[in-house]
Amino acid sequence: MFNTMLDAIAEVPAKEVSRAQAFNLLESYQDIPVQAAKLRAELGAAWDLALDAGRIPESAPNWWRQLMRGRLRSTGKRIEGVSLGAVKRALSDDEAGTLIRWLPNFSRTVSDVLTLYLWTVTRGAEIVAMESHEITEEKDGWWWTVPKAKTKSARNPNATDLRVPLVGRALEVVRRRIENHPGFLFPSSGVSGHWEQKAVQTSVHWHQPYSRTRPEQQRPRLTVTHWSPHDLRRTGRTMLASLDCPNDVAEALLGHMQEGIRGVYNRYAYDKQRRLWLNRLSAHLEQLAQRAT
């Protein structure tokens, strides 16, 4: 980020950066407010460290802590120049059925990841980093145990490993991929060794009818539009609610920590309920997939 976004101040000694220079740099990135806010935060932290370590004079102001506070906020998605706002999308039943039938138009890897989004309601970062040793066959069926360190709650002292029952198409995907990939189930030659969540997002956008990326290249265009992979997790959660899944169970399936004192004292794992409700979700998804187009 520093290599690509510092522009005019890149060679300016930290102690000499003026208020105007700092403001102009942040203002130049207002069209990408989320990234601009990250830049502001990292520069503020760098200045704090330099001040604490005596690398710049105590009199040097940390402009990054003072400028543009509260002004670098996302305005949501923009498609074809039109702002859609902070959209939180859940596919309808008809849309979900149509998309499931359309999945074979993606590459096998992307189709598998999207299938796991729907059938497990887990996070994309957890899916793409899945490893074969995390998969076990137990008395009640197959399980995927996501290590706490890989979850979003890794820093929460009350968090535990995330237990995910593998049922229906999710189990089919996992068992097929284990046969060919003894390590990461979605391997890549990149630094992490596995596919990145962003690569799946890029592929979905590539097939959207409004995508202008390499327009000369022909590819099938999605018939269910304006959604991202994370919306499939939200879709699964919405479907669980429509099926009358208890809130505590649904939130446990998503890997959300319970709030307040409940999160401290309720240590029940909900394994039996997880399997029950993911089986019901799987049956619902299959019913949608079978509907006539």
Residue whose token pair is 């990292």: 42
Q: For the ranges 75-79, 94-98, 228-232, which has the lowest average pLDDT?
A: 75-79
Provide the number of structural domains found in the chain: 2
Is residue 15 domain-resident?
yes
189 lies in the same domain as 114: yes
According to the model, what pLDDT value does residue 231 have? 95
CB-based contacts of 237, cutoff 8 Å, min separation 6 = 90, 121, 250, 253, 254
DSSP-assigned states of every residue in 155-189: T-TT--PEEEEE-HHHHHHHHHHHHH-SSBSSB-S
Structural domain span for residue 97: 93-290
Position 266 confidence tier, pLDDT thresholds 50, 70, 90: very low
Per residue in 199-220, pLDDT (tens digit) is 999 999 999 998 888 888 999 9
Same domain for 19 and 107: no
Structural domain contains residue 97:
yes
Q: Is the C-alpha dihedral spanning 42, 43, 46, 47 positive or negative?
A: negative
Q: Are residues 34 and 101 in the same domain?
A: no
245 shares a domain with 115: yes
Each residue of 141-181: pLDDT tens digit? 999 999 999 998 888 887 889 999 999 999 999 999 999 99
Q: Which of 74, 109, 134 is the last residue of a domain?
A: 74
pLDDT at 237: 96
DSSP string, 223-276: SS-S--HHHHHHHHHHHHHHTT--HHHHHHHHTPPPPHHHHHH-----HHHHHH
The answer to whether residues 64 and 98 belong to one domain is: no
195 and 286 share one domain: yes
- Give the pLDDT band (50/70/90) at residue 258: low
Strand partners, 182: none
How many CA atoms within 13 Å lie on the side-chain side of 288? 23
